[in-house]
Structure formats: C-alpha cells, structure tokens
Amino acid sequence: MLLVANYVPGFSYDGMGNVILDNLGYHYTYDVYGRPITAAGVATTFDAFGRALEQNRSGSYTEVVYAPSGQKFAFMNGQTLIKYIDPMVAGMAAVHTGPNGTPPNTGYFQHADWLGSSRWGHDDGGNVIYDRAYAPFGEPYAELNGTTTNRDFTGQTEDTTPGLYDFLFRQQSQSQGRWLVPDPAGLAAVDITNPQTWNRYAYVANNPLSNTDPLGLDCVRMNGDGSMQVFTDAQDDCSGDNGYYFDGTVSNPYADANGNVVASVNGQFQCAGDSGCSIYNNSTSVTVNGGSGTLVDTITSTLTNVGVAVQNAGTAALNWLLTPRNPGCMAGSMAAGAGTGALAGGGIGSLGFAGGPAGFATTPAGAGTGSLIGGGVGWVGGMVSCAKGVGPNFGYNQAPNKVANDAKNQAQKITGKKMSFAQDELFHDYDKTGMSYKDMVQLAVDILNGRVY
C-alpha cells in the first residue's frame, strides 16, 4: 500500500492523499478543492483564482497582493506595508519593507542564482543583510549569523511557516523535498516513459538542480497535426511558438475560430490568445501525454487548424517585413543577394543566342533580362535571410535569435499583453549577452509592464 500510494511512513493522510500531519508536527486541513485552509495553525483564505489571499495568525492578518503577471508582489497587514518586491533584471529584485517588515522601514537588494533562489542580499550601502546556500530541494544551510531573512527558493517564499515554501497552488516541504498534496492533474501529469513523473508528490520530477515549478502552471502545446498535449512545468517549460501557459490544472484544450487556444482550467474556461476567444463548453477528447482523442475530434481539430496555419503563415511573413532589423545587415544581405542573383541570372540569360558564321554570340537582351530577374529574386532572398537572422554579419546586431523571440512570446503570454513597436525595438536592442532564457522572459515582462524603458 505504501508503494502504491507513495505515502511516507509516520505521516498521516486524508482520503485524498493530502498530508494532515507531517514530520515537523504540523497539522493541516483542506477544503473540497484540496487547498490547505489551515497549516501549522495558520488559516488561509483563497481568491477566485485559487491563490492565497489572506492568512490569519491568531487574529493577526496578512494580505497578499499579486502583480498583473501573476507573481506575488506585496504583503500587507491591513493598510500597513510588510514588504513589496520590485523585480529587476538578471535575477535581482529590490525588496522594500514597511513598519511590520524585517528589518522594518528599510529595504535591500536580493541576488538570485540560476534557479531564481535568493542567495544573498545587501542594503544600499553595500552591507550584507543575509547570505545562505540551499540544498537541492530548498533546505537552507550555511546562513550568515543564523539570519533567516528572505528565505526564497526558486522565487517562492515561506509565507505560512518556516520549513514550507508557498508556491501558488501547493506547498513544498524543505525537509521532505516533495509536495504536501499529490498533483491535482492526476494521470495528465504522468509521462509513462519517465518513471520520475509517476510519483504525484515529486517536486519537478526529482530533478531540482535543473528544473523549477515557478507558478504551478500547465502548458498546452498545439502540434502540427492539430492535436494538443498538456504538460506540467516539470515536464515542459512551454518555450516556443506553439506553447501556451494556463494558470492551473488544464483539461479539454481546443483552438477556436480565431486560432486562440482555450482550455478548462480548474473547471473554468480560459483563453490564451490576444484576440477575443470563442469559449464554449467543449467536451473534445484531446491528446494528453500520448493519449488520443476520437476520430471526429481529430478531423475537426485538424480542419480548424489548417485555416489557422495559413493565417499564421501570412502574419509571420508580414512580421518579417515590419519588424525593425539592423540596417547594416539588411543593406549587406540585399546587396549580396542582388549581386549574386544578377550574376547567375545574367549568365543564364546570356544563353539566349544568335547563330552566325562565327558560331554563338550572346544576346544583350537575354543577359539584361536574366540579370534583372535574378537580381530581384536575390534582393528579396537577401532581405528574408537577414530577417530570419541567417544573413551575412554586415551589422553587429542581427535579428534576434530564436531563444530571445521565444522569451518575448512567453512574456506576452504570462502578462496577457502584446509588445508595442517601441517595446519590441527596445527588447531586441537590449544587450542580452550571457542572459538565460528565464532572465530574457523577465526582461520582456519588465518591458511589457513598463519597468524597463
């Protein structure tokens, strides 16, 4: 029984597999949705999106304020500030504390590692506030002077009680290295080819040095044949043009007539597109980690997505022409393409010849026509090659690479905003040397939210 349920000996569980007593002596109770309404004596109220909104500690209340991007932004005690976090670039953040903060009425800058965990912080005078290391599953150690300020593992903090990291939809235990409740996605979170995903309590498929689960989101991918697959953060970071993030546990995703991806998320239908969605209670059976839908569903989905693919191809071609490119690259690529095209076209055109006693004589009209056509084709080819970032390096800053474009698209999905012409130019011109994909996403989010301009 322990092997099948993956329970930990000495722990107590309810009928749904949720921990109700752990190794730290903490007691938990849950609502019908599996959310911890009490944990270690702290009562929690949730908002309509399933996020912790208010905590009650024996009559002392803490409210959580969320940014438009979905991350925790501030903690309040009524109208009194405890702290708020102002994200910066390259994993940095400015933390401002109020009268009830630690330390009170001041602030500090935090610095994160490759996972987004805050390793150390300093004040505006350069004095170290805290310094620590983390074990793979988030257990802190080697803390400077025993300071517990701002324990922050992969961007998630100890909001309820020490020893537990409060992710948006589940709590992770530092000492256990796993979730307190099983993955609510059930079998949808399981990849049969990866045994690490069979454990519904496992944090990021037991690969915490490479993977993170920042928002507890599900990723829906639209495949080329019109089918869709659902993944958790541990299985897929949702990068790329065909990935769509949803805030919660996904079921029944489909594409509407506008090409937007719609899915049932925790029982409520959500839209991942920029334009208005046609949301209806679709009972379509979809591909979930390798499972297949019905033949009618597949045909319907495929026909719908053929039109979407044609529309997207036209949009992509237009974007190539309208997206700002480096002038040096454009000029060099088009000149090289036109020259090469004219040479090849002229040579082919010269085969138009006139017979005579001396044999062959090239026809100027044939060479001229060939040069004109070949040069035109070469000019267009040079422009497209530069737009795709594969043209010759006549400029130091060619078109953004695919990783940067993926990061921009991901940021637009997270914020629900679309970059303006000026914002897009700012993002592409920003020096991203040495930046990770996650840092690029954060940069794009900051630009979209007006924090970088």
State whether 232 and 338 are in the same domain. no
* Residue 176 shares a structural domain with residue 76: yes
Please check whether residue 131 lies inside any domain of the structure: yes
| Biggest CA pair distance of the chain | 110
Tokens representing 90 are 């390259």
Q: Are 41 and 35 in contact (CB under 8 A)?
A: no
Instruction: Give the bridge partners for 134, in sequence order.
Output: 140
In the prediction, which pLDDT does 247 show?
55
Q: Is residue 208 part of a domain?
A: no
Which of the four pLDDT bands, split at 50, 70 and 90, describes residue 291?
very low
Assess whether 271 and 340 both reside in one domain.
no
**Kind of pairing between the strands at 228-232 and 171-173:** unpaired
Instruction: Look up residue 437 and give its two tokens.
Output: 């994909």
Statement: the pTM of the whole predicted model exceeds 0.75: no
Whether 149 is covered by a domain: the verdict is yes
Cβ partners under 8 Å of residue 305, min gap 6: 222, 226, 255, 259
Percent of the chain as helix, strand, coil, to the nearest 5: 30, 25, 45
Averaged pLDDT for residues 56-83? 89
**Domain co-membership, 439 together with 350:** no
355 φ, ψ (degrees, to nearest 5) = -75, 155
Residue range 328-356: average pLDDT?
A: 56
Q: List the structure tokens of 39.
A: 């944990």
Q: Is there a single domain that holds both residue 154 and residue 117? A: yes
Per-residue pLDDT at 141: 93
- Residue 231 belongs to a domain: yes
Domain boundary among 163, 186, 209: 186
Residue at token pair 């993944």:
231
Measured at the alpha carbon of residue 136, what is the angle toward residues 131 and 141, in degrees to the nearest 5? 35
Burial class (CB within 10 angstroms; exposed 0-12, middle 13-18, buried 19+) of 397: middle
Q: Are 167 and 216 in contact (CB under 8 A)?
A: yes
Residue 293: the pLDDT is 37
The pLDDT tens digits of the residues spanning 397-451 come to 333 467 788 888 888 888 888 888 888 878 887 877 778 888 888 888 888 888 7
Q: Locate 398 and state its tokens.
A: 């060619």
- The torsion of the CA quartet 101, 126, 162, 166, rounded to 10 degrees, works out to 80
- Of 272, 294, 316, the last residue of a domain is 294
Domain that holds residue 370: 324-387
Tokens of 218: 């599900």
424: CB partners within 8 A, 6+ apart: 323, 324, 408
Residue 61 falls inside a structural domain: yes
Does residue 252 belong to any structural domain of this protein? yes
Phi, psi of 313 (to 5 degrees): -65, -45
Residue 253 resides in a domain: yes
The answer on 120 and 159 residing in a single domain is yes
> Rounded to 5 degrees, what are φ and ψ at 169?
-125, -5
Task: Over range 40-51, report the average pLDDT.
Answer: 88
Instruction: Classify each residue of 197-234 as buried b or exposed e, where b means 16 or more C-beta atoms within 10 Å of its C-beta.
Output: bebbbbbbbbebeebbbbbbbbbbbbeeebbbbbbbbb
Give a yes or no: residue 57 inside a domain: yes
Whether 218 contacts 183, CB under 8 Å? no
Q: Are residues 97 and 176 in the same domain?
A: yes
Q: Are strands 12-13 and 171-173 parallel, antiparallel or unpaired?
A: unpaired
b/e 318-338 (16+ beta carbons within 10 angstroms → b): eeeeeeebbebbbebbbebbb
Give tens-digit pLDDT for 122-161: 988 899 999 999 999 999 999 998 888 889 998 888 888 8
Instruction: Give yes or no: residues 34 and 163 share one domain.
Output: yes
Mean pLDDT of 223-240: 66
Residues 116 and 222 in one domain: no
Output the six-digit token pair for 243: 């990935």
CA dihedral 286, 288, 294, 297 (to 10 degrees): 20
In this structure, the answer to whether residues 340 and 284 fall within a common structural domain is no
Residues 57 and 166 in one domain: yes
What are 241's two structure tokens? 């043009």
**Angle formed by the axes of helices 295-322 and 364-387, nearest 10°:** 110
How many structural domains compose the chain?
A: 4
Q: Which residues pair with 229 in a beta bridge?
A: 221
Identify whether residues 22 and 150 lie together within a single domain.
Answer: yes
